[in-house]
């Protein structure tokens, strides 16, 4: 399906009513076993409490959520108040059409408006598409974190990537 070439992509603020589609996209990512170490998508209340309120974006195509991006604080300590971890998920039907790049670019803009000076991404080693997406959006690989966590009893490695703001914390 060439959805993004036939229909405009609209980036908009994530609203609670988007969550059923967001949860479905997240569950599809979980099923790949290369998107996250999580094994179950949380309900809205838990998801909402863990993510930053102002840095949440959805990509809409013909009224459908095609993808989403959001930030999670890396720590509750005030010295890390300007450091956040990003999540970017695209519905498989819309992969390869540039939606991830649009979402991540917007998320970077939103993060700087919120005073974030460093964005981090922990990307499973096998998720080459996500590594390329982040590199295209100005992230760099900091290093490989070996055996960072387990998924279904198997240790998994993640790339730690980061993007430093050129306007916040300079």
Give me the residue label for tokens 């102002």. Answer: 54
Structure token pair of residue 46: 């838990």
Q: What mean pLDDT is reported for the chain?
A: 94
> What are the pLDDT digits (tens) for 73-112?
999 898 999 999 999 999 999 999 999 999 999 999 999 9
Look at residue 4 in the predicted model and tell me its pLDDT.
Answer: 47
Give me the residue label for tokens 């819309």. Answer: 94
Domains and CATH numbers, the chain: 8-164 (3.40.630.30)
Give the pTM: 0.92
Look at residue 140 in the predicted model and tell me its pLDDT.
Answer: 98
SS3 5: helix
Residue 145's DSSP bridge partners are 158
Contacts of 128 (CB under 8 A, 6+ apart): none
> What are the pLDDT digits (tens) for 126-149?
999 999 999 999 999 999 999 999
Can you tell me the distance from the alpha carbon of 154 to that of 111, in angstroms, rounded to the nearest whole number? 33
Look at residue 132 in the predicted model and tell me its pLDDT.
Answer: 97
SS3 26: helix
Can you tell me the distance from the alpha carbon of 58 to that of 75, in angstroms, rounded to the nearest whole number? 24
Look at residue 170 in the predicted model and tell me its pLDDT.
Answer: 80
Contacts of 103 (CB under 8 A, 6+ apart): 11, 57, 59, 67, 68, 69, 88, 90
Look at residue 2 in the predicted model and tell me its pLDDT.
Answer: 41
DSSP of 68-133: EEEEEES-SSGGGTTEEEEEEEE-GGGTTSSHHHHHHHHHHHHHHHTT--EEEEEEETT-HHHHHH
């Amino acid at each position: 399906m060439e959805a993004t070439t036939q229909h405009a992509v609209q980036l908009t603020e994530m609203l609670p009513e988007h969550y059923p589609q967001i949860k479905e996209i997240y569950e599809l990512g979980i099923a790949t076993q290369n998107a996250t170490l999580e094994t179950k998508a949380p309900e809205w209340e838990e998801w909402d409490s863990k993510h930053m309120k102002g840095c949440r974006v959805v990509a809409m195509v013909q009224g459908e959520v095609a993808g989403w991006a959001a930030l999670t604080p890396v720590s509750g300590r005030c010295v890390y108040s300007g450091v956040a971890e990003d999540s970017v998920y695209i519905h498989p039907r819309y992969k390869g059409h540039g939606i991830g790049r649009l979402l991540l670019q917007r998320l970077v803009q939103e993060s700087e408006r919120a005073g974030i000076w460093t964005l981090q991404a922990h990307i499973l080693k096998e998720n080459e598409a996500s590594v390329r997406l982040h590199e295209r959006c100005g992230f760099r690989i900091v290093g490989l974190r070996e055996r960072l966590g387990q998924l279904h009893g198997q240790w998994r490695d993640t790339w730690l990537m980061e993007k430093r703001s050129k306007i916040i914390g300079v």
